[in-house]
Structure 1
Amino acid sequence: MSAKTNRGNNPKAGEVITVEPIKSVKDIATIKKLLADKPRESALFVVGINTALRASDLLKLTAGQVRTILADEDGGLVRESKTGKRRRVIFNKAAREALARLLATREFDAAEPIFTGQRGQMSASYLCRLVASWCESVNLKGNYGSHSLRKTWGYHQRVTFGADIPTLMDALGHSTQRQTLTYLCIQPEEIKSVYANEL
């Protein structure tokens, strides 16, 4: 894995590392195909790009929480690590299917995190390396990491599905529209697009 593709979670003092969303639907489909025979990795990717969960909250999901959310069309509440607030999580069809495949691989205790490694709950740094390796495998250029999953969700809600910025601000827990546009890496695109409009 090249240093250019994955710079990890350890920036130098004063440096901010910004990861990108996966903007191409074709690239997303290719990664899904790449992970099809790996239930854990497939569920990580699919749930990550289909919810607004931060990486830390994604990795903390327990089998009991997942079963509760899967059993209710209105989803379930998860406490955010960063804010301490409880937020509703709803799994769409793609996420439900990926999680069902993972849960079918073995018996999970209710309190057990569903995304585990050799030493228990998977770490965010390991997820960062996984995401970077998946993106490198499909020849994506740029900087990708664990946060790319949530950014991909937000980017496509706006660009592919046309969600409005106030809705995305709320879903992502942002305080300003500028923060949301910058976070999703679409502000320059949206500004450029208005110049193409003709009267």
Structure 2
Amino acid sequence: MKHYFRSRSMRNYLFFCIGIYSGLRVSDLLTITVREARYNYINKVEKKNGHSKRFVVHPSIRSDLDTFIADKADDEYLFASRQRKTISQLKQQPIDRSTAYRFLNEAARKFGLEEFGNHTLRKTWGYRLYQQDERNLALLIDAFGHSDMRVTLRYIGLTQDLLDRATMRMR
């Protein structure tokens, strides 16, 4: 999907990539400013729970991100809408979460994926971290703000995978 987005829209490509490399909720992704994106780390206070979160800008997108923001002002939103908001008539606002949902789902359908929503980026980050090293589970529990590992495993869609693997290891 990265290649799909990159060939169509740098904004949507970077949105997707930062989503799968940060674990941020969509509501927090939308409020990233160009100033925040100029550094190797982005610090955000999560809207939902007020927790501070710092994440590294993945090296694989650094060059594209630098090119994308080169001519933008620091106070602009990284994922700015090109349209004027209907009710408030404001310009230079971040894209709406429904816009993100729409372009993510259009891409997902191209690849035959169902049940793809705004939270899928966050879950993908968690799934990939867990697959990389199962010892990352404690980090994920903390990052997601869960109180129990079962909640985290279910959240990232691993409950059935773990059962299947355990069954296959039986003698």
Q: TM-score surpassing 0.5?
A: yes
- Following the alignment from structure 2 to structure 1, what is the Cα–Cα distance between the partners of residues 169 and 62? 40
- Following the alignment from structure 1 to structure 2, what is the Cα–Cα distance between the partners of residues 177 and 144? 23
Q: How far 1:172 sits from its partner (Å)?
A: 2.1
The alignment status of 1:128 with 2:101, answered yes or no, reads: yes
Q: Deviations over 1:5-64 (max 9, x none)?
A: xxxxxxxxxxxxxxxxxxxxxxxxxx1221223211110111111111111111100011
Q: Give 2:89's aligned residue.
A: none
Q: Give 1:50's aligned residue.
A: 21
The alignment status of 1:145 with 2:109, answered yes or no, reads: no
Counterpart code for 1:144: F
Q: How far 1:150 sits from its partner (Å)?
A: 0.9
Contact 2:21 2:58 survives alignment (8 Å): yes
Matched residue pairs, number? 160
Q: Give 2:65's aligned residue.
A: 99
Higher helix share: 2
**Structure 1 pair 46/126, CA: closer, same or farther in 2 (3 Å)?**
same
Alignment counterpart, residue 12 of structure 2, candidates 41, 53, 63: 41
**Structure 1 pair 174/96, CA: closer, same or farther in 2 (3 Å)?**
farther
Q: How far 1:76 sits from its partner (Å)?
A: 4.0
Counterpart code for 2:24: L
Q: Give 1:61's aligned residue.
A: 32
Higher RCO by CA contacts (8 Å cutoff, separation 6 or greater):
1
**C-alpha RMSD of matched pairs (Å):** 1.6
Partner secondary structure for residue 108 of structure 2: helix
Q: Which runs of no fewer than 5 residues in structure 1 stay unpaired?
A: 1-30
Partner secondary structure for residue 169 of structure 2: coil
What TM-score do you get using the length of structure 2 for normalisation? Answer: 0.86
Q: Which runs of no fewer than 5 residues in structure 2 stay unpaired?
A: 85-92
The alignment status of 1:189 with 2:161, answered yes or no, reads: yes
Q: Give 1:13's aligned residue.
A: none
Partner secondary structure for residue 77 of structure 1: strand
The alignment status of 1:113 with 2:77, answered yes or no, reads: yes
**Structure 1 pair 98/152, CA: closer, same or farther in 2 (3 Å)?**
farther
Counterpart code for 2:99: Y
**Structure 1 pair 46/98, CA: closer, same or farther in 2 (3 Å)?**
farther
What TM-score do you get using the length of structure 1 for normalisation? Answer: 0.74
